[in-house]
Chains A and B, each alone.
Chain A
């Protein structure tokens, strides 16, 4: 008998001390047909149409933002094409007093929570005032570095627990973020202290050009919660009803003191990483085409139509309404004058220290000199004229 076989058979006799499972949740097929009994809220037509409208608006907004970028009127922008159901579905299960900690691809959640489109444009157009938004004042700004907002979510959850407030922190991140220690450290702490934090992995299967299989050997991202001592669940991220149901359950449990959850929303990035990226360089078009068949907006529309809850006339009215709203937002954005240069010193500290007040003065003097030069030039021109 060879030794390897001996060892294996010995291992078989060792007791199993833990077993884990990860569930996958989906209710609506890509064609919009129910796959199983739907959750109770799915009979609320008003809620489903509100979600549909939010997703259509987010997509119209994205399209416009890209065209603004292409015409030099917006900076680099991250589109969420195909992932609208994740952000909108989770946000719809949150309360205003909960705290959102978004990544840079979660505009549908920001819009749902009351951030204005012109504010989002202002931020991506290079103006910090975009983060001084009309959404809940305790919500975090976009996190541009990957995963570093996860420890903040744990800190926010800790504050809620310490003050015994029934509030929940909801943290969005992508599949790439699950490779970073930040996320693990945050989930680990949230697990130890049973904090009211929901971790939402927007698994769009690509981290810029790196596919999921090079990101992790894990079968699911949801299972990463298991090592932190709490449940992870995978949902069909293109099925907004599934996203909504998972978020609702997780948030309700967290609010009741049952601790954190991880939701892996399996979706697909139909667009480029950002306007600075060209996904055709690394991703076969056939793969993208396949995923277009599963995208969330058409899926929910098909379901609503099949339930006689959505008409062609409503669809047309919504398209033109979204276009109008986006156009008005763009007008407001473009009409917003840049801040005065010296405002770069504002909000640096509660009170600007003397040493930096001098630098502010330096900038102010420089600007005045320039203004005087201009006036003198004009005066000279006039004299000559």
Chain B
């Protein structure tokens, strides 16, 4: 087993999927010769040819629309959008076509496509390169929305996404593309798409997060452990459909919950989880669920972004607050 970064794990999964299934086609801006702006597709065009690793014109709407047409014809397209801020021209295709092709033809045509895009801030990137608007996508019926937080899960979840018979949005946490390292075995084993991962068991408080924020959330749990607070850490991993039972089971046990995401607070996916807990676990609660999130501001440019992002300190403070409630 070799140690790999998250972006290498993505590359590994793409290579394996393309080897296993001739219908898998990778397409996007700069994915071929240069292997993508983050090098996620590096080497694939040399291995699989220009017919299956396609450098598209610079048009995001086209990439998503091509995926729909190709998928309806039985291919398994994996489109890449260079940054989440450039995903928005694809929304029409995702809402009006990809997500509903199966339903509106009553199963006659299907849309087994994957759209990959980097997610989140923290890499000192220019404007529009730090978006975290996953809640918007998770609101669309018929889609799956997945976001790994480690190389192992990036590999297993991407394989599952490519093999899934329905459209999957695969968000890749930019900040930990290279910072996250782990042992990834290239064994073709997929991970389940609608299961949350309990990364650390604990009795006192449940910390729920996804993507790059899992790093700070886990660090906060370590800090809390030193203070005698035993935190359970959940990586939600799939936001749509999400694993309600793991969330409810954990909160029923701990009675306390902190939800962490870097996306803005209002209407963020944390609100969905808090609502679920209020609806179905109210009587096990010992404190109100708290969200630690990005602010309801435009994500700042690099000089201020560290003040926007939830920090280990903010997460730990929130956990202490719910533990001291009442």
Contact = CB atoms under 8 A, between A and B. Distances in A.
Interface string B56-77: 1101011011111111111101
- Of listed B51, B65, B69, B244, residue having the most chain A CB within 10 A: B69
A20 interface: no
A353 B241 contact: yes
Contacts of A131: 104-106, 108
A188 B241 CA distance: 36
Nearest to A349: B166
Chain A at the B interface: SS class: helix
B294 to A, nearest CB: 26
A372 to B, nearest CB: 25
Given A138-B109, A162-B52, 16 more contacts: A99-B73, A131-B108, A132-B106, A138-B72, A148-B96, A151-B93, A152-B69, A155-B66, A158-B66, A182-B92, A186-B62, A192-B57, A346-B106, A346-B107, A348-B142, A349-B142
B215 interface: no
B45 interface: no
20 contacts: A140-B72, A151-B66, A154-B62, A155-B69, A155-B73, A156-B70, A156-B73, A157-B69, A158-B66, A158-B69, A160-B73, A181-B59, A186-B62, A189-B59, A346-B103, A348-B142, A349-B166, A350-B110, A350-B165, A353-B241
A99 B72 CA distance: 11
B14 interface: no
B72 A182 contact: no
Contacts of A152: 65-66, 68-69, 72, 97
Given A137-B108, A156-B70, A354-B241, A349 B102 contact: yes
A185 interface: yes
A212 to B, nearest CB: 24
Contacts of B245: 354
A145 B65 contact: no
Interface in B241-268: 241-242, 244-245
B142 A148 contact: no
Interface of B: 25, 51-52, 54, 56-57, 59, 61-62, 64-75, 77, 92-93, 96-97, 102-110, 141-142, 144, 164-166, 194, 241-242, 244-245
Given A128-B104, A348-B141, A355 B70 contact: no
Contacts of B56: 189
A374 interface: no
Interface of A: 99, 128-129, 131-132, 137-138, 140-141, 144-145, 148-160, 162, 169, 181-182, 185-186, 188-189, 192, 346-350, 353-356
Contacts of B68: 151-152, 155
